[in-house]
Structure 1
Amino acid sequence: MPRRKPTHDEPCPVARAVDSVGDRWSLLIVRNAFDGMRRFSDFQRSLGVARNILSDRLRKLVEAGILATQPASDGSAYQEYVLTAQGDSLFPVVVALRQWGEQHLFQRGEPHSVLIDKRTGKPLPYMAPRSKEGSAVAPQATEVRKVPQ
């Protein structure tokens, strides 16, 4: 399969973001990191992904500045993968994907995991883009101003 052209010089922020975290395994690794997972073996066991693919995705996430490696917190010889500030800022993206999936990929009443606010014990409210004034913004109320070529 031919490799796709890298988008590091692409003027579209969506294209650049997808290049960094747009494949299944990378997003699921980030999701698991938000759930507190840190060890290679835990990611591998949870995801069921081949070791070589996991190793490649972890390396790319570290190179992209989304994850960082650090010595294991238990003092063992292992290393752990932790979210950086850049990785933490992916939280709204993961929440938006989760909520889209809840809305469109499950039948009414079909069980699924739920993201809970620890302070209130309640599910997070639905996320939507908002204007500076706080009102919801629909897709048709926006436009992309492209870079002149």
Structure 2
Amino acid sequence: MSYQYKFQRILTLKEKEKDEVQEMYRGSIEKFETVAGKLYECLKKKETLELHQESKLQGGLSVQDIRHHQQFITNLEKTISYFQDLVIQARNRMNWYEEKLIDMNVEVKKYEKMKEKDLERFLQNIQSMENKQLDEVSVVQYLKRGVR
């Protein structure tokens, strides 16, 4: 008599779904890190440019150069704003997948717990059947000895 869990297919399906969500979550983490890295680079570039412009202003700078630097900083700020939006979207996507993964983990744990309890019941049934058989054998042996 071998043990067979009646919801094994469902458990396998839920584990597969959980693995897929986990892969999507990993992908969203990588996307977030990539976009956040680009945002950091832009912020660093802006900071460096502003420091460079400030040091040049100390020594004197033409109006044309000031306009050029200001235009470049404005464009950089637009790029920073764009990457900030992307970071927010990536963070939201990452958080959504994290919540979904937590839900999937809970669901899989429920089925695993049901499987453990079912296995426990199965083993208890086997144990009780063995005990009944042993009782029957001992009664038969007792009756055989008593008849003599």
Structure (1 or 2) with the larger CA radius of gyration? 2
| Greater relative contact order, per chain length (Cα 8 Å cut-off, separation 6+) | 2
Greater share of residues in helix: 2
When the two structures are superposed, what TM-score results if normalisation uses the length of structure 1? Answer: 0.22
Greater share of residues in strand: 1
When the two structures are superposed, what TM-score results if normalisation uses the length of structure 2? Answer: 0.22
